[in-house]
Structure 1
Amino acid sequence: MIDALKKPNLPQDGYMIQSYIRVEEAAHRVGRTLHKLDNTTLGDHVIADVEAELAAVEHAERGDLSGRAKQSCTPLPRRRLPTAVNAANDLFREQPLGSAKLLHEVDPAAAAVAAAHWLQAAADITADIAECDPSEVVVEADDIEALAVETPTRVLERLESGETPREVVLDLIRTAMTAAEGRIADPDSLPDVIADARRWAAQSRPGEEDPLATIQPRISLLDPLRPAHDLLEDLLDGIHGCRLLYHEYAEHDDDDETDEDIDEAESDELTERLDTEFDAAVRAEAEAKQDRLL
């Protein structure tokens, strides 16, 4: 690729050699543009930036997500995914709600697989106390605090149908990456996407300050530019939503005291106790269903 930037295929006698490898041909096109601009300084900067990006990808594939490699969103090779999932699963054992380490120290696709497993465990525990279907937990919690609802709910529905966390996560990421290439992974979903887009267009108002602009329907459930990270963040939000709903119902199970009777110190103590109970219950459920990660 670097050679293509430095010495691109140029037109000769009205003809030009083109590569059948899409990425390589893209590099030749950039190289031809740099050749036409004839700016040595600009060319050196572009080549240096591409070299740094390629090095970051190599670091990420070796499991080193430091520096520029943090932006990597491409799933690990399948043969190495289980090891990374186990590492992420260990981090969830420490903190069932998730931690910053999941976002910065583990491959995001592997972390999302583990997050889907722990979201399912949290939803099952919360659904029991809230007396609702596990796939409805995040929707219910959204009434308490604004959450990312669509993605965690879609994941929970697919997990309930019998798919594994790995199958669901890799399929969602693959679909988003297909959208990033300008292609449609699921043509059957187009009628719903078009209908949503038309509803949005009918409600939208012109102007940069239009709040509806942030909810414009997308062709992909995940951000095509960073699908694994986007999925991981939404799944962590879903686990947080399970905690919120668990607290809501657990607190109302105590009929001896009303909210007005509890002072700040007692409220903090109750929150800490419920957090401890929630974490323990989710850990136990996740461990009991550990075979879902295999």
Structure 2
Amino acid sequence: MTNYAIDEDTGTLLRIWPTGRGQCAAVVCTLPAAAAVDDWLRLAAALTSLSDALWRCYTHPGLSTDDRDGNGEGWRREQSRESFSQLVGFLREPNLPGEDGAILESYDPVEEGAHRVGRALRALDDVKLLEEVSRDVAAEIEAVESAERGDLGGRAQQAVVLSRTDVSPVQVAAADGVLALDPLNGEHLFVDVDPTAASVAAAHWLKAAADVVAEVSGMPAHRVLIAADDIEALPVETPSEVLELFNFSNTAYGVVVEMVREAMEIGAGSVADIGALLVEHDTGDDNDDSDAEATPVRLTLLDPRRPALDLLEDLLTGIRGCRLVYEEYVEASDVASTDTQFCEAVRMEARKNYTRLM
């Protein structure tokens, strides 16, 4: 999301947003010199909160839920998304305190966020500021809409650091194209592609790489990364789990989106199925010592603060791990020849199973 800040030395409002390589910053406008600094800060905080609410509509689309009927979570998300066209109007005509001091507040966080920006602008009472902030909010809304379409150019590039509970087929295709060029180099995925979509493509290519190694080595595909870890210390738990999950899902989309969604829910403080979690971690020993120190339970393999990026990093490492094992079973004159031979074999396997992506 975009963060807003004030520069007291120059009296300007700044916007700061991530790109995947680092943070970018730009001046939104000059603030009224006669206004109190607290009023400047209140405007910056309100704009940051509004951007957070806007981008949550991108990361948590209504289509990714099962309860889109009246008052369900999916329905509420869709209501938030449908309010986009009204937001600039709320900046100009926000809900204001009545004679008794009470304010009508919206249950919709996006709509209420726009009203709060509007009230902060009213306190500053500057027509030029209102116009400039309105243009910036309109540009932020367009960035979210652009990301939804799968176009991550301009300000929409900040989507590359966000985890999403669904994917754009356009973004999956873009990520697949990056890995088709070089399965061992997915660096561009971190700056050009939504990480959940990139993880879908990376899971597909990891499965292709593991199947290639399984063919030349004779070992099961889901054991390939365990063998790689014997050659070089690698974070193999997550990519190995992905390979296991392909036994229960026909698509990389199904595997990845479920993992990311579950980690996002845990990050938000909820566990989808506590019963299944208890069964998974049940030792089966009814005579456990009640005085013994409790063993911490890991609720998700992914970092809940950045699950899609964490997954993408591990999947790309998994592909390189497959390459380590491949080298043990084939004859090649040098490292470059092994890389070329491995990549070509993986490309053929990935093309053969292209429908596995979505």
Whether the TM-score (by the shorter chain) exceeds 0.5 is yes
Q: For the residues of structure 1 that align with 2:124 and 2:279, how far apart are their CA atoms?
A: 48
Q: For the residues of structure 2 that align with 1:59 and 1:26, how far apart are their CA atoms?
A: 21
Aligned to 1:263: none
Do the aligned residues in 1 keep the contact of 2:95 with 2:115 (CA within 8 Å)?
A: yes
More helix by share: 1
Q: Verify: 1:275 aligned to 2:339, yes or no.
A: yes
Q: Secondary structure at the match of 2:150?
A: coil
How far residue 236 of structure 1 moved from its aligned partner, in angstroms, is 0.8
How far residue 106 of structure 1 moved from its aligned partner, in angstroms, is 2.9
- Paired letter, 1:176: A
Q: Which moved more, 1:157-166 or 1:237-246?
A: 157-166
Do the aligned residues in 1 keep the contact of 2:163 with 2:309 (CA within 8 Å)?
A: no
Q: Secondary structure at the match of 1:142?
A: helix
Task: Report 1:38-57 matches (<5 A).
Answer: 53-57=140-144
Which of 322, 329, 338 is 1:242 aligned to?
Answer: 322
Aligned to 2:83: none
Q: Higher RCO, 1 or 2 (CA under 8 Å, sep at least 6)?
A: 1
Do the aligned residues in 1 keep the contact of 2:165 with 2:261 (CA within 8 Å)?
A: no
Any gaps of 5 or more consecutive residues in structure 1? 201-216, 255-266
Do the aligned residues in 2 keep the contact of 1:121 with 1:285 (CA within 8 Å)?
A: yes
How far residue 123 of structure 1 moved from its aligned partner, in angstroms, is 0.7
How far residue 112 of structure 1 moved from its aligned partner, in angstroms, is 1.7
Q: For the residues of structure 1 that align with 2:259 and 2:224, how far apart are their CA atoms?
A: 21
Do the aligned residues in 2 keep the contact of 1:18 with 1:25 (CA within 8 Å)?
A: yes
Do the aligned residues in 2 keep the contact of 1:223 with 1:230 (CA within 8 Å)?
A: yes
Q: For the residues of structure 1 that align with 2:192 and 2:313, how far apart are their CA atoms?
A: 14
How far residue 198 of structure 1 moved from its aligned partner, in angstroms, is 4.3
Q: For the residues of structure 2 that align with 1:128 and 1:177, how far apart are their CA atoms?
A: 35
Q: For the residues of structure 2 that align with 1:4 and 1:89, how far apart are their CA atoms?
A: 41
Q: For the residues of structure 2 that align with 1:62 and 1:127, how far apart are their CA atoms?
A: 38
Aligned to 1:227: 307
Percentage identity across aligned positions? 45
Do the aligned residues in 2 keep the contact of 1:76 with 1:107 (CA within 8 Å)?
A: no
How far residue 239 of structure 1 moved from its aligned partner, in angstroms, is 0.7
Q: For the residues of structure 2 that align with 1:137 and 1:187, how far apart are their CA atoms?
A: 31
Relative distance call for 1:77 and 1:170 in structure 2 (3 A) is closer
Q: When the two structures are superposed, what TM-score results if normalisation uses the length of structure 1? A: 0.69
Q: Verify: 1:199 aligned to 2:286, yes or no.
A: no
- Paired letter, 1:281: A
- Paired letter, 1:140: A
Deviations 1:30-66 (A, max 9, x none): 777x58xx6789x999989866654432332233323
Q: For the residues of structure 2 that align with 1:27 and 1:174, how far apart are their CA atoms?
A: 28
Which of 197, 204, 224 is 1:110 aligned to?
Answer: 197
Any gaps of 5 or more consecutive residues in structure 2? 1-86, 284-292
Q: Secondary structure at the match of 2:345?
A: helix
Task: Report 1:1-294 matches (<5 A).
Answer: 1=87, 9=95, 12=98, 13=100, 15-25=102-112, 53-72=140-159, 73=162, 75=164, 80-81=168-169, 83-191=170-278, 198-200=294-296, 219-247=299-327, 249-250=328-329, 269-294=333-358
Q: CA RMSD in A?
A: 3.9
Q: For the residues of structure 2 that align with 1:5 and 1:143, how far apart are their CA atoms?
A: 59
Q: When the two structures are superposed, what TM-score results if normalisation uses the length of structure 2? A: 0.58
Relative distance call for 1:30 and 1:188 in structure 2 (3 A) is farther
Aligned to 2:54: none
